[in-house]
Amino acid sequence: MDLAALPAPPPGMRAHALDGALLWFDPRRGLNVRIDGPATRSLRRAAPRTLLFGITNTCNLACAFCSRDRRAASGWDEASAHAALLGFADAGVLEVAFGGGEPLAFRGFDRLLERLREDTALALHVTTNGELLTPARAARLAPLLGELRISLYEGASWPERIDAAVHAGLTVGANLLCTPAALDRLPALLRELADHGVNDVALLRYVGGERALHLDAEGEARLTAAIKASPLPVRISTCFGDRLDPLPRLWGGGGGACGAGSEFLTITSDRRIRACSFHAEAIPFTSVDEALAIYRAAQERLASPAGRPGCARPGAAAPPLADGIRIWRGFGGNNSGDCVLVGRFAEGARAAAFMAELTPSFASGQPLPAAWRALLGAEGIDPEGGYSPDTIAALGPVVMMHTDMTLADDFVPLRALLWRRGGRAIHGWLRSSCDLQMIAGLRPNDARVDGRALLEEAGVEPFGRHSDLSFGTAPIGGPEGAPHSLATRVAALREVAARHDAEVAAELIDWPGGAGLGARALARIGEAARRPEWLWVRFDDPARAQGFARDLAPDLRDPPVVAGVHVLARFDRLSPRLGWLASRRGGAALLIQGPRLRIRARLRSEATEGDLASASGHLVAALRAFLPGVDATIETRTMSAYQGLTIDTSDPLAALGALESAARASGLILDHLQLTASDALAPALSRLADDLRRSPR
């Protein structure tokens, strides 16, 4: 029977054929109405109801239990993903749940969601580790998503991510892998999730060969008891099958009815079909029509067990449903940084000249255009690995570039060109998990005009004044032309300043948050002259780092420090020549201003997780032993296969050297390093104040 011969669904709902039943689905509310009866028995599925779409294979975490093949390519871009999902929607797919990898790191992901919301009736969902979710981004995603699911990892910052998402109005679910180690804290965690406003929690079964991560019978009994006592709704992974009796199941459950390969289908980042993310068989496809033909023809293959311990297949088939109408609410689920460059020149004319070289060929969010590649090549800069920013803008001596989502440092060639042209890169690489803001300063040429009112007119929230200068912030995000994009924000500031005869300046900053923060930083504007400058350079191998440090050492009062592939050196005033020299040697150079630095490190062990835990226990003790009398606070956190460490210190040279020695003594390898000013706001305000006061009345 054809769907057209059956009653049309109510307004706002979509009809979808199941095997022997009819489903009506509301993509905005997650309302499902299933109809079983004589008129529906001849219906057969033509498409899965839900796609689990692996939009990218890259991720900002490295969890040992992850099911994805880390060798797989990331073959989707915004255009190809949009075209494919448009075709799947036309074929009858109701929902797409994005996973990966980390979907929030996919280039153009927010823009893709906006296009799908406009062009299709798909319900759109995202499963994320949350580390790239800021309050501003949560607000942008809220009108686009049916559901946001945040996977919980020990040591990750999920409480603040959940709070940001709930505050933005998103329906938030949580995913938790139920291992023996998770059971002790599960009851308290469920209460905490309820307190944070989480809609429901999905409890997932580990599927894989690590025996220590599987629950035994006692563990399953404890899990069942925790679920029964849960203060919020719990969704149980179908991979548990019937193992958690006597918990109730929708339609009676049954391990053979997990839905993988029929109810839902996994699309991988390298354009293959899997029954689920754990399934051993991956079938390549080149078009939507081919994918759907495989789906219809390969049901027996897709219904086979995943081939990993923990799969519920084969299991007892669910009994057939009696005729009737069944109604429930729920979405399909998926259980599977921004890049910034801020450069300062000595004069606005040099910044304008730099922009004049780039803007005629600028193409938002695209591979480097031919004109840029030629420009870079003429300066001896390798353009490979570079990517155009989503937005680019300049105000006075400051040049700013921003790309909303990426896990790569897209601006390596452009940063080298900035140093070459006499600029100094003061903010860059992949930004931290703070909320990216534009910080703006304004000085009216008429003393009777309130600069704070002009900032508000430009969409900037004022936080205080310093003499005749007014300052405020505004969140940044989105592609060229979006309401909150960098270019849009700068254009609004320029327009207001021109109309009211005012001077204006701006930078980008990772806004650390906190009530009254801006006002307190204003009181420290005059301290700028006493702030040292630090050159931080990241190379691709330790030998280059060592060589660069040796060449710097004769000209410096304090010897530079090398930690792995990183070099840190202190200056009273850093010359752009040294940033360019580092770039010529293959390094990515950044200037940091401030008397205290924050060193964030991630360390790993080449041995087992147990060895990591043991080594991590020695790390802090060893670190303090190498830092006698040094002003430093140390914080640690463990994330799956990694040990996280943060050092806040007034002597970063000593601290970085001690970190290298302590890691070696503890049997750990420095895997990732990030250096920032402990207080980045006060130096930024000082720079903006200098810009505004240099401008003629």
Reported as a single tens digit per residue, the pLDDT across 133-175 is 888 889 999 999 988 988 886 655 778 888 888 888 888 888 8
Q: What's the Cα-to-Cα distance from 63 to each of 132, 238, 311, 639, 663, rounded to whole Å?
A: 16, 22, 20, 8, 21
The least confident of 67-81, 194-208, 366-380 is: 67-81
pTM above 0.75, yes or no: no
* Cα(202)–Cα(237) distance, integer angstroms: 7
pLDDT at residue 335 tops 50: no
Q: Note the pLDDT of residue 252.
A: 46
**Which residue is it, tokens 């090549």?**
377
Q: Note the pLDDT of residue 425.
A: 94
The least confident of 354-363, 378-387, 650-659 is: 378-387
* Residue spans per domain, the chain: 46-321, 339-530+680-694, 597-677
Give Cβ neighbours of residue 490 (< 8 Å, ≥ 6 apart).
393, 394, 395, 400, 438, 506
Q: Note the pLDDT of residue 64.
A: 47
pLDDT at residue 435 tops 70: no
Which pLDDT tens digit goes with each residue over 581-640? 999 999 999 999 989 999 988 887 765 444 555 666 678 888 888 888 888 888 877 654
Fold of 597-677: Alpha-Beta Plaits (3.30.70)
pLDDT at residue 490 tops 50: yes
Mean pLDDT computed over 645-659: 92
Confidence of residue 372 (pLDDT cuts 50, 70, 90): very high
Q: What integer best gives the mean pLDDT of the chain?
A: 82
Confidence of residue 234 (pLDDT cuts 50, 70, 90): confident
Which pLDDT tens digit goes with each residue over 296-306? 887 776 766 65
* Cα(414)–Cα(417) distance, integer angstroms: 5
pLDDT at residue 431 tops 60: no
pLDDT at residue 36 tops 50: yes
- Of 571 and 58, more confident: 571
Which pLDDT tens digit goes with each residue over 436-484? 789 999 999 998 899 999 999 999 999 989 889 999 998 887 667 777 7
Q: β-strands 172-178, 147-151: how paired?
A: parallel
Q: What's the Cα-to-Cα distance from 609 to each of 63, 219, 615, 661, rounded to whole Å?
A: 11, 21, 10, 21
Residue among 20, 32, 14 nearest 262 (CA): 20
* Cα(301)–Cα(283) distance, integer angstroms: 10
Q: Looking at domain 46-321, what is its CATH homologous superfamily?
A: Aldolase class I (3.20.20.70)
The least confident of 55-64, 123-132, 481-490, 652-661 is: 55-64
Confidence of residue 256 (pLDDT cuts 50, 70, 90): very low
